Amino acid sequence: MSTPESPKETTGTGKVGVYVCYCGGNISDQVEVEKVCESLRQLPEVGVARSNMFMCSDPGQELIIEDIKSGKVDRVVIASCSPRLHETTFRSAISRAGGNPYLYEHANVREQVSWVHHGSEATAKANRLVAAAVAKAALSEPLQPIRVDVQQRAAVLGGGVAGMKAALELADRGLEVILIERSPFLGGQVARLRHLAPFGEDAAAVIAELAGRVQEHPAITVQTCAQVEGFDGYIGQFRLQVRRRPPEAEEYADQLAAGSAAGAQLGDVVPFVGIMPQRLPENLEEQEITVGAIILATGMRPYQPLRGEYGYGDLPQVLTLPEFTRLWHAARSQRQGDLLVVQGRRIRHLAIIHCVGSRHIPGVHDEGGRGYLNEYCSRTCCTASLYTANLIRQTYPNTRVYEFYRDMRAFGRGQEELYAQASDSQVMFFRFRAGEEPQISPTSEHPTAPVLIRVKDVLTFNEELEVMADLVVLAVGQEANPVPGLVELMKLPVGADRFLLEVHPKLRPVEVAVAGIYLAGTCQAPFDVGETCSAAAAAAVKAAAVLTRGYVELDPFVAEVDLSRCQGTGACVEACLADGALTMVDMTVDGQNVRRAQVNPALCLGCGACVAVCPHNAINVKGWTLKQYEAMVDAIVAEDLAA
């Protein structure tokens, strides 16, 4: 829907175009859009004021493009939803029309008006916000993006599936990659699996294929036993101090012993460990590398149950699913008939308990001294549990399997079929409520005796049931691999769930707030292997878009020093929130050697902290000057007086 432009009746010479969106009713249900447009047409700065059902749509953008091309407007104000959603869309439209994309202002009249106000109050507030945006836009000046040269090399931190996939995606595009892995092994958590649910791929084969390609690729340099100890710079020019050291004896003793026992050579797969691509360093090695982009693939770790949680640590009959996976592999090589045998014990009844370490509820579940709860769903546990149950029933038909669950969340391709298959295989399901988890108690002091599981089963109308089990397997969830050093060095945002946080889950799903740093895989959220590879490829594509061009353009909303006013007090440097963005340097001004503030635009956050403390008003943020703020306040006051 579009409204025609009425002839301008004021005598102003303004060329600000205002475009108000109905947002399909999200805005217009509360805000009288046409009334807002009519009010804005009376402002002397406004050249045109139009509305559209969806301003972000192609017809809506065409309104803007036509007005710019015809010379009716040279500045644009959009009144719609949050600028986080479509700021890039509208700037692109202005650029296509031949205008300067920074002669643009956005008024959020959905989140800040129609979603929180009703009736005449909503329309009045919309008038004020848009009038303020017009006043600011009228004083805006054409700006040019900041151009930064880019080192056409990337660093990938983490040598699991996500890290190797991202490295290969970049290298196959002709870019140099340095793959940095803290441990001596490539493979990450996937290397600790036997099969991948839901289709049963051999985990070792997947790791071997990826690691083989990584080691053979001439554009990839692998550094194991390595950590990033220092970091500075900005997108295109990151500097990393990397330290490679011999691993401490106890740190990877079990994995190294497993490799030796298997007689593995460099590049061989060590079951449930990974692949050692190079010899361990004998001495401390340090180097500095410069890269244009960084991909974080630091991965996850399985939840470790608290001692006593479902009897874990107290009862030898209780294991986690990763622990059972290794025992299962050993049991298959020592098969004794149609009954599962684990560590010499015949398992007639096996129980799997879901949601261990996931979907915690504050006030219901115990933090256990950790200081946090995992309130999220780990997403992969149900599928892994169903796959395991089916595998046991197919391989050992005389071993009965019971699954205790809160909700079944087998959501991906091929996963619902696992549930149907488990039902057909006579796996028995018991559903419990949150806070009424199964209670496990021993039946004897003998370590091989079965345990008793008590549960209120929702499926049988809360009947209290008792089930005997020779082995209990806890389907543990995923937790973010803690990387406090990197978080501190790189100022990375961390979510409430302790996973690294993206800018926007839909619009910028693999980017963090620090430009040039991208997320790949389970450092960001619980993923299965397929999703991990997709996320890694997405991160690589984003990084490659920056690296292959050889330069990057950054928004110009950064601090600017007026040397005619600056007196070199240094207050701005002390207030600056970004290390290196503001420095005091010696320079010549009007023939005199003086010390003045200087901005590194690639590091500046545009936060305005320096503006607030300068005693001589010698600093402004481009696009957000003090004069513009004053004009916005004046416009709001004028609207209030007119009302």
Instruction: Please give the pLDDT value at position 124.
Output: 95
Instruction: Please give the pLDDT value at position 301.
Output: 97
Lowest mean pLDDT across 91-100, 160-169, 263-272:
263-272
C-beta atoms surrounding 138 within 10 Å: 21
C-beta atoms surrounding 329 within 10 Å: 14
Distance CA 571, CA 172 (A): 48
Instruction: Please give the pLDDT value at position 640.
Output: 84
H or E segment and range at residue 259: helix 253-261
Give which of 119, 547, 494, 118 is closest to 294, Cα–Cα: 547
Instruction: Please give the pLDDT value at position 218.
Output: 97
Cβ atoms of 523 and 297 closer than 8 Å? yes
Contacts of 379 (CB under 8 A, 6+ apart): 409, 411, 478, 526, 527, 528
Residue 343: pLDDT over 80: yes
* pLDDT, tens only, 543-556: 999 999 999 999 99
Residue 154: pLDDT over 50: yes
Strands (E), 199-283: 201-202, 220-223, 226-234, 237-244, 269-270, 274-275
Q: How many residues does the chain have?
A: 643
Residue 239: pLDDT over 60: yes
Binning pLDDT at 50, 70 and 90, where does residue 249 land?
low
Q: What is the mean pLDDT of residues 276-286?
A: 92
* pLDDT, tens only, 465-479: 999 999 999 999 999
Binning pLDDT at 50, 70 and 90, where does residue 404 land?
very high
Percent of the chain with pLDDT strictly greater than 90: 85
Percent of the chain with pLDDT strictly greater than 70: 97
Give which of 414, 362, 359 is closest to 390, Cα–Cα: 414
448 vs 166, higher pLDDT: 166
H or E segment and range at residue 52: strand 46-52
DSSP-derived 3-state class of residue 346: strand
Q: What is the mean pLDDT of residues 525-537?
A: 96
Q: What is the mean pLDDT of residues 70-97?
A: 95
Instruction: Please give the pLDDT value at position 182.
Output: 95
Could you give the domains of the chain?
16-144 (3.40.50), 153-299+481-552 (3.50.50.60), 309-477 (3.50.50.60), 559-621 (3.30.70.20)
Cβ atoms of 568 and 583 closer than 8 Å? no
* pLDDT, tens only, 17-70: 999 999 999 999 999 999 999 999 999 999 999 999 999 999 999 999 999 999
Binning pLDDT at 50, 70 and 90, where does residue 8 land?
very low
Instruction: Please give the pLDDT value at position 251.
Output: 79
C-beta atoms surrounding 56 within 10 Å: 17
Instruction: Please give the pLDDT value at position 1.
Output: 44
